[in-house]
Amino acid sequence: MKTYKVLALAVAITIICSIVQAQQTQWKVHDMSRPAPTVVDAGTASTQDVVGRAPSDAVVLFDGKDLSAWSQKDGTPAKWKLGSGYFETVPKSGYIYSKKTFGDCQLHVEFATPSPAVGQGQDRGNSGVFLMGLYEIQVLDSYNNRTYADGSAAAVYGQYPPLVNASRPPGQWQTYDIVFHAPKFGGDGKLLHKARVTVLHNGVLVQDNVEIQGTTSTDKPEYTAQPDKLPLALQDHNHPVRFRNIWVRELKAE
């Protein structure tokens, strides 16, 4: 019986290796018949005074005009304040959620914490970007503001501090560029692999393809079976944080 299992395993490995090799050798090096990458208009970067333009293949969730792409958790219109090219958290109004759902994605978010700064630690310019509404990348005024490391700006909240503190002073526009790979579950609901995330804060790498340990929690993070796609969320933490130029590029599943 043991010999049979060993032989079966060897055959399976051989088949898998053959498939991988076939995929790798499907195209010759520099093969001109290999399909070229899709052409995308890369858009433009923002400055402090000028809002950039999203890539041509992005889903724009806020272009400075209205909050039609967002709603409250119960589906009613978003209650946050619309300003000139931005929107702002209305304290005690609740989180807002994207009407469109996402899984694997590239997300661009720009934010500015209140100026002048008020409060200290977690009580200063606090909000959050929730991937799938479950996994938080912390938004906080971390400029000359000490708090616990895994609650700093650009932290995977409660799990991973940022590699460095790349925060700008309060009132200045800042960017998060996030590459997120959603967790995957089997048909029986069991976790096949955890979510992973890479974050650039103001162009600086601060989370390097880290493995998220579970949904954001002040206790032990855990996974439970979930859909392949869910809404993004922005957190109301009772601070008037501003947001602008939010867009998403959906990525093909691994």
Domain boundary assignment for the chain: 41-250
Question: Could you tell me the pLDDT band of residue 254, with boundaries at 50, 70 and 90?
Answer: low
State pLDDT tens for residues 99-121: 999 999 999 999 999 999 999 99
For residue 20, the model assigns a pLDDT of: 40
Exposed, middle or buried by CB within 10 Å (0-12, 13-18, 19+), for 59? middle
Q: What percent of the chain has pLDDT over 90?
A: 87
Dihedral (CA of 127, 171, 98, 159) sign: negative
Q: What are phi and psi of 16, to 5 degrees?
A: -60, -45
Instruction: Let me know: does 253 contact 103? Beta carbons within 8 Å.
Output: yes
Name which CATH class applies to 41-250.
Answer: mainly beta
For residue 5, the model assigns a pLDDT of: 47
Residues 154-180 have a mean pLDDT of 98
For residue 15, the model assigns a pLDDT of: 43
For residue 19, the model assigns a pLDDT of: 41
Among 170, 203, 154, which residue's Cα sits nearest to residue 47?
Answer: 203
Residues 60-89 have a mean pLDDT of 97
What's the whole-model pTM score? 0.88
